[in-house]
Amino acid sequence: MGGRAPPPRRRRAAAPVGPSLERVVANLRRLRREVRDRTQNTQVRRVAVLAAYDDTLLQACGLVDVDAPLASADRPDRAFARLLTEAALEDAGIALDPPQDGAAAA
């Protein structure tokens, strides 16, 4: 009974929910390249890739707390809202088209 108090218990850090920002940005860049590549064989593939890109844009906006015009855009306005959302992410420091010299941004 040395009179010494036991060390305080440390709380475990809460496990992050969902993918990291780095993973989301990597997916966003990959999908962006696929959207720009017009060689998808079928309309179904083009629509699926664009939908995945839009979902990932919204996910990235949520992670960096950026307003996403794409979230509330109607079908005729989605292309323009997508551009606004991309611009908002770029303004927040997420490089959607990073330099090709190997330097990573975001």
- Domain definitions of the chain by residue range: 21-91
CB under 8 Å, gap of 24 or more: what pairs does 101-106 form? 106/21, 106/22, 106/25
Digit-coded pLDDT (tens) for 49-70: 999 999 999 999 999 999 999 9
Burial readout 7-25 (b: 16 or more C-beta within 10 A, e: otherwise): eeeeeeeeeeeeeeeeebb
Residue type, 43: Q
Query: Residue 97: is its pLDDT beyond 80?
Result: yes
pLDDT band at residue 5 using 50, 70 and 90 as cut-offs: confident
Q: Which residue has the tokens 């108090």?
A: 5
Determine the average pLDDT of the residues in 5-27.
81
**Residue 106 has what pLDDT?**
47
Q: 106, 95 in Cβ contact below 8 A? A: yes
Evaluate if residue 12 carries a pLDDT over 80: no
Alpha-carbon gap, residue 83 to 47, rounded angstroms:
17
CB 70 within 8 A of CB 84: yes
Apex CA 73: angle with CA 17 and CA 35, to 5°? 70
Report pLDDT for 89. 97
